[in-house]
């Protein structure tokens, strides 16, 4: 049995066991009281307003058993707490797998057979876990029909419509409002950094890829960020602190947003990348800063295009690529539309869907 005592602030302090580094505030414990008087059993939401708890709440007594402990408070309420549950919460445990950065050294690509996923929870879990770790998966043996991308996306969560519609058709069009709709090569980019918010996940379904050229590329932006941080600190610093203006213009709309090419959180942890040389405008900074920025952006571009980081593969009809648009860059080689028809359909969903679904599946398991 773990040992604990109350300190001078009436916090519960564990002396042994997995909670032993932690000092548990009486209100923090009081607002985690469970039981159907306090929590709706259907949705696990609180039935009372925790902000209305008195600040004078104190722990009156506690009693520790093997895996749980009981606390009685001075407002007459008492609760049971599972030690492992508190430990997981304190340590921000998330059952979904952590991101694993990769370079061109991936042993095998995360191919998944759709005909198996469609009928097996275990395989859906494997596919979503690969997606969490690597930031992409490639489905094989999915229908070749138009509309498949939307059907598949909807099986994971709501589709994010944009001014391109619910889905977009990627083939060569006259007077295209985006260079994607030509036969030109697309260098490594993230989609739509000009949107608010930027679409989280992109799906590209291949209906036909008969033309010469048109192979796909992917790069792990998180791996490049790690590399820059290690080997080119000043570049890493300027790229993760300079906000860039991104703009999309067509006859109906002008979309604009600002953001860093490398976005980190307050602890320096990777959040997202943005990169679209077709659409980016750095503000007019003072000479030294701007010169450093241009040097850094050139290096970043070279890394994104390098054999060390880039992977190549070819989508064929009946394949679907799903990737994290906040983490990976994608591109394609040029294709010659006179040599055959190439048609992809794409759409966007958000991280909520893949993460939330996987969490649910893992918990049910």
Distance of CA 268 to the CA centre of its chain: 16
Give the containing element (helix H, strand E) for 170: strand 168-170
Dihedral sign (CA 54, 55, 58, 63): positive
The reply on whether position 191 binds Zn ion by CB under 5 A is yes
Residue 320 near residue 207, CB atoms below 8 Å: no
- Give 160 or 330: the residue with its C-beta nearer to ligand OGA: 330
- Give 124 or 191: the residue with its C-beta nearer to ligand OGA: 191
- Give 26 or 183: the residue with its C-beta nearer to Zn ion: 183
The secondary structure of 6-69 as a DSSP string is: E-TTS-EEESSSTTTT-EE-HHHHHTT--STTTB-TTT--BSS-GGGS-TT--EEEEEE-SSEE
User: Total binding residues for Zn ion by CB under 5 A?
Assistant: 1
- Give 191 or 280: the residue with its C-beta nearer to Zn ion: 191
Residue 189 C-beta: closest distance to ligand OGA, Å: 7
> Which of ligand OGA, Zn ion, none is residue 19 near (CB under 5 to 8 Å by kind)?
none
Residue numbers at the binding site for ligand OGA (CB under 6 A): 170, 180, 186, 191, 216, 330, 332, 344, 346
Dihedral sign (CA 151, 157, 158, 163): negative
- Give 178 or 237: the residue with its C-beta nearer to ligand OGA: 178
Residue 189 C-beta: closest distance to Zn ion, Å: 6
> Which of Zn ion, ligand OGA, none is residue 139 near (CB under 5 to 8 Å by kind)?
none
Measure CA of the first residue to CA of the last residue in the chain; give whole Å.
29
Residue 63 C-beta: closest distance to ligand OGA, Å: 60
CA-nearest of 107, 127, 119 to 321 is 127
> Which of Zn ion, ligand OGA, none is residue 198 near (CB under 5 to 8 Å by kind)?
none
CB crowding 327-356: b at 16 or more within 10 Å, else e: bbbbbbbebeeeeeebbbbbbbbbeebbbe
Residue 202 C-beta: closest distance to Zn ion, Å: 7
- Give 117 or 188: the residue with its C-beta nearer to ligand OGA: 188
- Give 2 or 178: the residue with its C-beta nearer to ligand OGA: 178
- Give 224 or 344: the residue with its C-beta nearer to ligand OGA: 344
Of 67-75, 142-150, 188-196, 258-266, the segment contacting Zn ion by CB under 5 A is: 188-196
> Which of Zn ion, ligand OGA, none is residue 324 near (CB under 5 to 8 Å by kind)?
none
> 92: left (phi > 0), else alpha (psi -120 to 50), else beta?
left
Inter-CA distances, 31 with 46, 55, 77, Å = 9, 12, 11
Distance of CA 89 to the CA centre of its chain: 21
- Token duo for residue 357: 């679904």
Residue 335 C-beta: closest distance to ligand OGA, Å: 8
Distance of CA 137 to the CA centre of its chain: 13
Residue 173 C-beta: closest distance to ligand OGA, Å: 12
Burial of residue 248 (number of CB atoms within 10 Å: 0-12, 13-18, 19+): buried
Residue 44 C-beta: closest distance to ligand OGA, Å: 39
Binding characters for Zn ion, 147-186, by CB under 5 A (x = yes): ----------------------------------------
Residue 268 C-beta: closest distance to ligand OGA, Å: 30
Binding site for Zn ion (CB under 5 A): 191
């Amino acid at each position: 049995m773990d040992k604990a005592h109350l300190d001078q602030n009436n916090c519960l302090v564990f002396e042994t066991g997995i909670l032993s580094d932690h000092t548990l505030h009486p209100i923090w414990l009081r607002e985690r009281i469970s039981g159907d008087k306090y929590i709706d059993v259907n949705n696990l939401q609180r039935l009372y307003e925790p902000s209305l708890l008195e600040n004078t709440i104190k722990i009156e007594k506690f009693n520790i058993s093997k895996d749980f402990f009981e606390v009685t408070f001075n407002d007459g309420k008492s609760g049971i707490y599972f030690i492992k549950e508190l430990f997981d919460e304190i340590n921000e445990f998330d059952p979904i797998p952590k991101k694993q950065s990769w370079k061109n050294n991936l042993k095998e690509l995360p191919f998944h057979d759709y005909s198996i996923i469609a009928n097996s929870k275990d395989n859906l879990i494997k596919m979503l876990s690969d997606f969490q770790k690597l930031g992409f998966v490639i489905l094989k043996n999915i229908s070749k029909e138009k509309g498949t991308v939307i059907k598949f996306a909807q099986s994971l969560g709501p589709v994010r419509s944009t001014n391109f519609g619910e889905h977009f058709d990627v083939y060569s069009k006259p007077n295209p409002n985006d260079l994607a709709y030509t036969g030109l090569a697309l260098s490594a980019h993230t989609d739509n950094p000009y949107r608010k918010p930027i679409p989280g996940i992109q799906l590209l379904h291949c209906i036909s890829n008969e033309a010469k050229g048109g192979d796909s590329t992917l790069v792990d932006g998180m791996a490049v960020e790690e590399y820059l941080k290690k080997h080119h600190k000043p570049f890493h610093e300027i790229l993760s602190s300079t906000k860039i203006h991104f703009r999309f213009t067509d006859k109906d709309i002008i979309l604009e947003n600002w953001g860093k090419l490398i976005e980190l959180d307050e602890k320096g942890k990777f959040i997202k990348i943005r990169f679209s040389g077709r659409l980016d405008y750095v503000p007019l900074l003072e000479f030294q800063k701007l010169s450093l920025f241009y040097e850094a952006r050139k290096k970043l571009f070279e890394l994104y295009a390098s054999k060390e980081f880039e992977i190549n593969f070819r989508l064929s009809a009946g394949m679907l690529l799903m990737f994290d648009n906040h983490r990976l860059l994608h591109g394609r080689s040029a294709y010659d539309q006179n040599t055959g028809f190439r048609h992809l359909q794409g759409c966007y969903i958000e991280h909520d869907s893949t993460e939330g679904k996987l969490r649910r599946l893992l918990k049910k398991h």
